[in-house]
Chain A
Amino acid sequence: MTRVFDRTDSSVVVVIGSGAGGGTVANELAQKGIDVVCLEAGKRLTLAEVVNDPPTMDERMGWHDERDGKPVWLCKTVGGTTMRWSGVSPRFEKHETQALSTYDGLEDTGLIDWPLRFEELEHYYDLAEDKMGVSGTHGTPASAENNNYKVLKAGAQKIGYSRITSGRMSINSVARHGRPACRQIGFCNSGCAIGAKWSTLYTEIPAAEKTGHFELRSECMVMTINHDKAGRVSGVVYKDASGTMHEQKARAVCVAGNVVETTRILLNSATSKYPTGLANSSDQVGRNYMRHMFGFALAIMPKPVNFHRGARQSGLVYDEQDHNPERGFAGGYLFETLSLDPLNVAAFVGGWGPGTSQYNDSYTHLAGLFLVGEDPPQADNRIRLHPDRKDHNGLPVPVLDYTDHANTIAMREHGVARARAIYESLGAAEFWGGEGPPVGCHNMGVARMSANPEDGVTNGWGQTHDIDNLFVSDGSVIPTSGAANPTLTIVALAIRQADYIAEQMKKRNI
Chain B
Amino acid sequence: MNNETTSRRRFLVSALAISSVATGAFASSLLRESAAWAKDPDNPLARLARLLFPHAALPDSVYADVAARALAMTADNPEAQGLLLAAEQALDAQVAGGDWYEADEEAQLAAMEAVQGEPFFPAASNLFMFTLYTHEECWKAIGYPGSSREYGGYLERGFDDIDWLPETAS
Question: Which residues of A are at the interface with B, using a C-beta cutoff of 8 A?
Answer: 51-53, 55, 144-147, 150-151, 153-154, 157-158, 162, 182-187, 193-194, 302-306, 308-310, 341-343, 345-347, 352-354, 356-357, 360-361, 363-364, 426
Contact = CB atoms under 8 A, between A and B. Distances in A.
Given A144-B160, A146-B159, A184-B153, A308 B145 contact: yes
B56 to A, nearest CB: 8
Given A346-B129, A354-B54, A157 B169 contact: yes
B133 A342 contact: yes
B153 A353 contact: no
Interface in B126-170: 126, 129-130, 132-134, 138-139, 142-149, 152-155, 157-162, 164-166, 168-169
Contact of B142 (A354, A360, A426): A360
Interface in B48-71: 51-57
B54 A183 contact: no
B152 A183 contact: yes
B28 interface: no
Contacts of B52: 352-353
Contacts of B139: 342
A151 B154 contact: no
A298 B159 CA distance: 18
A166 B87 CA distance: 47
Nearest to B165: A154
A122 B116 CA distance: 52
B149 A52 contact: yes
B94 interface: no
A184 B155 contact: yes
Interface in B84-118: 109, 112, 116
B129 A347 contact: yes
Contacts of B130: 343
B55 A360 contact: yes
Contacts of A302: 164
B125 interface: yes
Contacts of A426: 165-166
9 contacts: A51-B147, A162-B169, A186-B154, A187-B148, A193-B149, A310-B154, A342-B139, A360-B133, A426-B165
Contacts of A305: 162
A415 to B, nearest CB: 21
A215 to B, nearest CB: 32
B147 A52 contact: yes
A377 B54 CA distance: 43
A185 B125 contact: no
A184 B154 contact: yes
Contact of B53 (A51, A309, A356): A356
A154 B159 CA distance: 16
Contacts of B166: 154, 158, 426
Contacts of B55: 357, 360-361
A186 B149 CA distance: 9
B51 A145 contact: no
A35 B152 CA distance: 40
A37 B153 CA distance: 37
Contact of A150 (B138, B144, B160): B160
Given A154-B165, A157-B169, 12 more contacts: A51-B147, A52-B147, A53-B147, A144-B160, A184-B153, A306-B143, A309-B148, A342-B133, A345-B133, A346-B53, A346-B133, A356-B53
B149 A145 contact: no
A294 B87 CA distance: 32
B18 to A, nearest CB: 29
Contacts of B133: 341-343, 345-346, 360
B168 to A, nearest CB: 5
A183 B142 contact: no
A56 to B, nearest CB: 10
A294 B9 CA distance: 44
Given A147-B162, A342-B142, A353-B52, A154 B129 contact: no
Contacts of A51: 147, 149
Q: Which of B56, B130, B148, B153 has most chain A Cβ within 10 Å?
A: B153
A360 B157 CA distance: 22
